[in-house]
Structure 1
Amino acid sequence: MTTLAPLDALATAGLREHVHRALRQAILSGTYAPGTRLNERQIAEQLGVSTTPVKEALRQLDAEGLVLIKPRSGVVVRFDYAWAEEMILARAAIESTIARLAAQRILPDDISALHAIIQHMRDATDKGGAEELIRLNEVFHTAIRSAARANYLRILNDRQDVYDTGARRVIHMDPGERQRAFDEHAAIGAAVIAKDADAAEAAMKAHVLRAGESYLNLVFSKDKD
């Protein structure tokens, strides 16, 4: 039986969001397999909370497409290999276009910020700090989006964030993945800083697809069924 670790009793602020994040990560990491029926009461007991924040979190997960709430039938995990694959392909298309625009629109302040972020990522990679690398990964991609100044694409990309953070947390537990990710981010940053739009687009697309393949292998073992 799948179990969840109890939440910190002191983390009362934004309890629904704590529950939401715990359940979302359990789904994205494969702890809950596709088609699993989620029992609200059981989840509440495991997390040490009432059923109210669990119900609210499940409604949010339903809106994100990770679960399906069936009237009179309960809640079923909807996220599967096919959904994850589409998620990765969508992100590759959006992020690579953003990287191209960033290379075309980058300003001196953006360049300074990217240099600093890449150095921080290099240091964190050398130290092997997974949590810090996950955070810096998000900082890096945010900096690329900022340099792109693409409002419409930013809105599209924001819809991917519910998946991206969870996927990063899965693959960054692998030390080899952490080094590969740094090398790829450094290449993306160098292309953007050099204002080479073609190289920036290609490097970002290759990175997202390669990291996505690692994620699929880790969570679904390439089982498309």
Structure 2
Amino acid sequence: MESGAGDDRIEKIDPRFLTTLRDHVHKTLRAAILSGRFRADERVNERQLAEQLGVSTTPIKEALRQLETEGLVETLPRRGVLIRFNAGWAEEMILARAALESMIAHLAAKRITRDEASKLDDTVGLMKAATADGGADDLIALNETFHEQIHIASRCQYLSRMIERQQFYDASIRRIIHSDNKERDKALAEHTAIAAAIVSNDSDKAERVMRDHVVRSGETYLNIVFRKKEDI
């Protein structure tokens, strides 16, 4: 099925972002693909995407070329641009992210300063309060802060850059995940364990609990984006 002009799966670009239009078009399309808003092997049309986003076809072409280098789309003769992202690809991204995040946590446990440890503990405290309140938006923001603090404490540069390619959640998926009471409680317990291991300089445990957390949350993502669709 070809995506149509009336499709509401992706939003128009905010005019404030026009100075960096190419990057924002790429991020918008990438997020739409990784959130499962396009099916694997679905053909997309450049002009229709341009109309949906309210831009010309030039940044669309540039974004699609970039997405092709990432393996998320493929251009075929006489068939156009096809979506190549599927459950198998997503699972590999999850495992790659788990490997990278776990190594970053391992190094953070070795390199974290007292001030950084205090800030990480403070963030966990805020996460506990937000979990009790049930505010998904607050939890999303705190989750990003939590992982960012660990990245900073790790002093990693190469690994932190690599992990940017493995970011597969967008705000809509995060909101669904954090709106579930059981998921919020599991995430809090996991984040608390990760912080405790890092603050106590237990690098092996930090690596293990971080890997387990990313894999489990990744399974939740797969269930939302792919497996529930298969049951419909």
TM range (shorter): 0.7 to 0.9
> What's the CA shift string for 1:116-162, capped at 9, x where partnerless?
2222333333343333332322221121122222334334323323x
> 1:82-101 to 2 correspondence within 5 Å?
82-101=88-107
> What's the CA shift string for 1:78-121, capped at 9, x where partnerless?
11111111111111122112212211222112212212222233
* Residue 46 (str. 1) matches residue 49 (str. 2): no
Aligned residues of 1:134 and 1:169 also touching (Cα < 8 A): no
Q: Answer with 45-54 or 28-37: which moved more.
A: 45-54
The equivalent of 2:217 in structure 1 is 211
Q: In structure 2, what residue type is equivalent to 1:209?
A: V
Q: Name the SS of the counterpart of 1:98 in structure 2.
A: helix
In structure 1, C-alpha distance between the alignment counterparts of 2:162 and 2:77, rounded to whole Å: 30
Aligned residues of 1:99 and 1:201 also touching (Cα < 8 A): yes
> 1:150-169 to 2 correspondence within 5 Å?
150-161=156-167, 163=168, 165-166=169-170, 169=172
The equivalent of 2:137 in structure 1 is 131
Which runs of no fewer than 5 residues in structure 1 stay unpaired?
Answer: none
Q: TM-score, normalised to structure 2's length?
A: 0.84
Aligned residues of 1:172 and 1:178 also touching (Cα < 8 A): no
The equivalent of 1:173 in structure 2 is 176
In structure 2, C-alpha distance between the alignment counterparts of 1:98 and 1:64, rounded to whole Å: 23
> 1:191-206 to 2 correspondence within 5 Å?
191-206=197-212
* Residue 113 (str. 1) matches residue 116 (str. 2): no
Aligned residues of 1:20 and 1:58 also touching (Cα < 8 A): yes
* Residue 149 (str. 1) matches residue 152 (str. 2): no
The percent identity for this pair of structures is 51
The equivalent of 2:31 in structure 1 is 25
C-alpha deviation, 1:55, in angstroms: 1.4
* Residue 16 (str. 1) matches residue 22 (str. 2): yes
Q: Answer with 185-194 or 1-10: which moved more.
A: 1-10
> What's the CA shift string for 1:157-184, capped at 9, x where partnerless?
23323x2x43x64143232233322221
Q: Answer with 118-127 or 202-211: which moved more.
A: 118-127
Q: Answer with 98-107 or 114-123: which moved more.
A: 114-123
Aligned residues of 2:25 and 2:63 also touching (Cα < 8 A): yes
Segments ≥4 residues shifted beyond 4 Å: none
C-alpha deviation, 1:199, in angstroms: 2.1
In structure 1, C-alpha distance between the alignment counterparts of 2:160 and 2:14, rounded to whole Å: 33
Number of matched residues?
220
Aligned residues of 2:94 and 2:166 also touching (Cα < 8 A): no
| Compared CA separation, residues 170 and 126, structure 1 to 2 (3 A) | same
The equivalent of 2:109 in structure 1 is 103
Aligned residues of 1:30 and 1:220 also touching (Cα < 8 A): yes
Q: In structure 2, what residue type is equivalent to 1:96?
A: S
* Residue 67 (str. 1) matches residue 73 (str. 2): yes
In structure 2, C-alpha distance between the alignment counterparts of 1:128 and 1:23, rounded to whole Å: 30
| Compared CA separation, residues 159 and 19, structure 1 to 2 (3 A) | closer
The equivalent of 2:61 in structure 1 is 55
C-alpha deviation, 1:39, in angstroms: 0.5
**Alignment root-mean-square deviation, CA:** 2.2
The equivalent of 1:79 in structure 2 is 85
Q: TM-score, normalised to structure 1's length?
A: 0.86
Which runs of no fewer than 5 residues in structure 2 stay unpaired?
Answer: none
